[in-house]
Amino acid sequence: MVAKHLYKVYQAGSTDEALQCLKENTDIKLVLADYFMPGKDGFAFLKAVRRQHKAEEVGVIGMSSYAKPENRVQFLKYGAADFVDKHCPPEELLLRISQNLDYMYRIEELNNLAMRDALTGLYNRRYLLEGVAKAVKSWPTSENSRHWLALLDLDSFKSINDKLGHDFGDAVLTSFARHLLKLSGERDVVTRLGGDEFCVVFRDKTEEDVVHLLESLLDTIQTSPVRHAGEEHHMRTSIGLAPIQEGKLGDALKGADLRLYTAKRTGRGQLVSTG
């Protein structure tokens, strides 16, 4: 019945099979879980789901033919978003599914906005320190490749705001963000840390490849002036690059920051890498 309404549906014949299905299909947003199931009951299954997935990641609607008040309460207590009697009309079940999915997508949208920089649309510092710092520990690498973190800081940005105004400064920041997005691959992560400081996490690349990309960026931005309200400005940036070793993003940030400081102190408009 649910599949006929164009929902993508997975079916599992036991609680263990259902947990494996959730693990293998990260697109699953909502689970309909019966109270009576082979292996574990619905409450034990729900507790197992909640150990792996937050409520805003995977919603659960409890179901039972025995719609006792205590069943309903227990499902909600253990983290279900809703409960429905299996004898309910089809329209009620579909309506509950629709409402729960709408709620989850709204939460997802709000979480996404909280992880984005309002001006540039890039990911923000929170996303880097919470999302990427956790995910990088499980990222695989190819032979002779590794993950890299580059810190980039626009040179003399304060003078741009002082001389040309904050509107022009915003135009410079958004232009620089576009250059970084063009530079990065689909799996790389570009963030604005705040002010005129940006970060790019490069996934599974050799140092030679990353250095080539960043040096190309230095050349590109100097020949691509920002034009706004009749004014023109040539951007320059200093860059510090460090490898992410053993999934430790914080250590890479410290290393890249030290190299960024060296790039600023020794002339600006340049890249300082591990070499």
Positions marked catalytic: 196
CA atoms within 13 A on the CB side of 13: 0
The amino acid sitting at 30 is L
With contact defined as beta carbons under 8 Å apart, do 238 and 268 qualify? yes
With contact defined as beta carbons under 8 Å apart, do 101 and 109 qualify? no
Q: How many CB atoms are closer than 10 A to CB 121?
A: 13
Q: Which residues contact 160 (CB under 8 A, 6 or more apart)?
A: 168, 169, 172, 233
Q: Quickly list H helices, 85-206.
A: 90-114, 125-126, 133-135, 157-164, 166-183
In three-state secondary structure terms, 85 is strand
With contact defined as beta carbons under 8 Å apart, do 214 and 270 qualify? no
Residue 63 φ/ψ, nearest 5 degrees: -135, 145
235: left (phi over 0), alpha (psi -120 to 50) or beta: beta
CA dist 97 and 105 (Å) reads 12
CA atoms within 13 A on the CB side of 269: 9
